[in-house]
Structure 1
Amino acid sequence: MTSTTRAVRGQHQPVLGRYPLPLRITGYVLVAGLGLLYILPFFLQLVTGFKTDPDAASHPLSLVPVTPTTAAYQRLLGLSEAGDGVPFLRWLGNSAVVAFLVTAGRVLFDSMAGYALARLRFPGRGLLFACVLALMAVPGVALLIPKFLVLNTFGLFDTYTGMILPLMVDAAGVFIMKQFFESVPREVEEAARVDGAGVFRTFWSVVLPMARPALLTLTILSFQSSWNEFTHFLVATQSAQYETLTTGLARFVSGGLGGGTQYPLKLAAALLSTLPVAALFFCFQRYFVQGANAGAVKE
């Protein structure tokens, strides 16, 4: 083995491999312990969903139900024979429709706006981008009353349009797409224009397919934020038929749908509402990291 080979192998040696074995084992144990500590609340949530109300109140931290039951999930899914079901499926349907439409709108409009800010030259371009950055710094709570007034003035209050339309463009999404498009080599677009492609054709057929990592990142973030959105729906609706998972569960936790703590029912509902976002993230987390890195590095 030559010295060059040893040097190359040494460059690729893992960082933890440079430390003694007992120190590495201690590090692994600490990391595993922190991971278990982080997972514990989610595991308690899962277990509590299969407890009875008295069992959950008496043994809230128990990891094994005394008398396992699926009564909470039966109530949520409308399978309870007692007729005391929760409109969970309606909440789920509203959240799914809103999240799908908002995600599609943000992917389309944010990518178009990001490309315009990154490549097109027009008066006020710098000022417009400064406004986008300033909007990202404004707390969402500060816009609640203006949102309500605008929706009420245009007759969009308590409608699906009022729930969806204001969320279809996001300043953070525009910023992510702009940063990514600036990392795309201009030679690719110049070659497309030489072939006779216009601005929109270049964007749609040439540049946008190259932005797959950024688009997947934007899709995950948009779906997650619209699925978990609460404050906007709180000021945009008042009827029960427009309740989403967040507003429905908030009313439920605040004391609706009967008396008592009802911890199993509440935690079971929270678990079911978390699963779609968690599944989406774990399926596409590799593309999420690639998109974040691609948007952060400019050529």
Structure 2
Amino acid sequence: MFKFSDRVSSTFLTSLMYLMVLIFIFPIVWLLLSSFKPGSELFTYPLKFLPENPTLDNYEYAWTTMNFVRYFINTTIVTVVTTILTILASASCGFALAKYKYKWLSVFFVCILATTMLPTEVIMGPTFTIIQSLGLYDSLTGLIIPSISTATGIFMFRQFFITVPDDLIESARIDGASEGKIFFRLMLPISKPIIVTLAIFSFQWRWNDYIWPLIVISSPEQYTLQIALRNIIAANSINWPLLLSASVISILPMVVLFFIFQKYIMDSQATSGLKS
């Protein structure tokens, strides 16, 4: 049977990896470069990759035309508060499922995992009805509360806490530590890799969320960035310079977040707590 040498295989896989990188990064680079083009250059034929007369007028126009400060504040409040509450809720639930020995907890965990099989659209109707009945419609609180609980976060923390020896917790109890102290002073600090990973995921989910804010928010002063960007697209026309520059501004926080926390994701110690 014919086999490729290690060198040929390595070269092929590396080339394939670079090709995939180019495929994924090309639309982002095109978006970034197009945001510096005047409106007259966007649809010239033939299309040009680099702007001939780069300008920052699009960004100035976007910043002055749209109430970016307000949208940034709204989106930041929803994202940060939801992320913090998601971590606390997921960690506490994961700790209980991993370390408390009750038969009904196993059934409860299976029910939590079953929710991942349901499309988000299926539960939006009932969730909206509850939010409306609680008087949280058209408020940032109505965006935050339904997004706190996530099966993914609970599963991540449960699997991590299972690997923590029970003797460590029993020793803390013998020393007189309450369940609250064990959770906040022992379990949370050692689960830092999981906290950082879930924080990044949650931040990304909430920052880019579009469907739920579109349903819950109706007042322009409560808009998040994604809803504000959607309103740029009119029924009969699209202000492309405004849309492109505003889109680039909206993704900057995610880029900054990646460069700040990438070392935690790529750190080899991130999985050390998962070893048996």
TM-score normalized by the length of structure 1: 0.83
1:91-116 deviations in whole A, cap 9, x for unaligned?
22211111010011111111111101
| Correspondence for 2:256 | 279
CA contact (8 A) 2:232 2:238 kept: no
Alignment check: 8 A CA contact 2:58 2:242 kept: yes
Question: One-letter code of the match for 1:93?
Answer: I
Segments of 5+ residues of structure 2 without an aligned counterpart are none
Equivalent residue letter for 2:24: Y
| 1:66 lines up with 2:52 in the alignment | yes
Q: 2:41 & 2:127 partners in 1: Cα distance? A: 43
1:120 paired to 2:67? no
Q: Is 1:149–2:148 an aligned residue pair? A: no
1:137 aligns with 2:117: yes
Query: Considering only aligned residues, what root-mean-square deviation do their CA atoms show, in Å?
Result: 2.4
Deviation track 1:157-202 (CA, whole Å, cap 9, x = no partner) reads: 0112112122122221111111111111222112211211122211
Whether the aligned pair in 2 keeps the contact of 1:109 and 1:168 (CA below 8 Å) is yes
- State the match for 1:3 in structure 2: none
Which whole-Å CA distance do the structure 1 matches of 2:70 and 2:57 have between them?
19
1:41 equivalent to 2:27? Answer yes
**Kindly, what percent of the aligned residue pairs are identical?**
31
Cα distance, 1:53 vs. partner?
1.5
CA distance in 2, matches of 1:30, 1:205: 46
Give matches, 1:1-299, under 5 Å.
Answer: 18-19=6-7, 27-58=13-44, 61-78=47-64, 85-122=65-102, 124-253=104-233, 255=234, 260-289=237-266, 293=271, 297=274, 299=276
**Aligned partners of 2:243 and 2:215: how far apart in 1?**
23
3-state SS of 2:232 partner: helix
- Is 259-268 or 208-217 further displaced after alignment? 259-268
SS across alignment from 2:247: helix
Q: 1:200 to 1:145 in 2, by over 3 A?
A: same
* Mean Cα deviation higher: 121-130 or 218-227: 121-130
My pick for the range that moved more, 220-229 or 260-269, is: 260-269
Is the Cα–Cα contact under 8 Å of residues 217 and 292 in structure 1 kept in the other structure?
no
1:31 is aligned with what amino acid? Answer: M
Q: Is the CA contact (8 Å cut-off) linking 1:114 and 1:174 kept in structure 2?
A: yes
CA–CA distance in 2 between the matches of 1:176 and 1:30?
A: 31
The amino acid of 1:19's aligned partner reads R
Return closer, same or farther for 1:276/1:209 CA change in 2, 3 Å cut-off.
Answer: same
Equivalent pairs, count: 272
Q: Specify every segment of 5 or more residues in structure 1 that has no aligned partner in the other structure, as ranges.
A: 1-15, 79-84
Contact 1:141-1:231 within 8 A present in 2 as well: no
Deviation at 1:221, TM superposition (A): 0.8
| TM-score, normalised via structure 2 length | 0.89
Q: Which residue of 2 aligns with 1:81?
A: none
Cα separation, partners in 2 of 1:242 and 1:17, compared to 1, 3 Å: farther
